[in-house]
Amino acid sequence: AEDLAKTDSTFPYTIVLGKSEKLLWAWGWCAKDDTTLESNLAKMQQDFSLNGEPVAIDQFASLFYPSNDGLSCFAYFAQVTDFAGGEHHLVTTVTFTGTVNDGSDTYPAGKQIFDYAVYIKP
């Protein structure tokens, strides 16, 4: 399994569809408790782009929630649809402005880039 507990890394994902379908574009973070989660999020900036064009954060819904294993979590999510045939890139860039510890792993300042390549059959 990929080790997501690192920064200055790109995590590529590929989605192949026969036709355009509704997709959920999401990014989330969990920590050991609410205080740690709030502290972590204060040191993180999320940027989203679709095919190289910025997508405003207010286009995403957000949610604080408890995980099934007792962690405190937060997520941004948006539905995307109506893709034209061809290749599309949904990119989430998370910038850690300082060292972050979620209660089990430590992340140094840096960036994580999640690049979702969506291929729609023309």
Domains of the chain: 9-120 (2.60.40)
- Nearest Cα residue to 109 out of 122, 99, 119: 99
Percentage of residues in the chain having pLDDT higher than 70: 98
Give the pair of three-digit tokens for residue 103. 């209660």
Please state the pTM of the whole predicted model.
0.92
Percentage of residues in the chain having pLDDT higher than 90: 93
Longest dimension (CA), the chain: 47
pLDDT at 1: 37
Whether residue 5 contacts residue 110, with contact meaning beta carbons closer than 8 Å, is answered with no
32-68 residue pLDDT tens:
999 999 999 999 999 999 999 999 999 999 999 999 9
Give the separation between CA 47 and CA 117, rounded to whole angstroms: 17
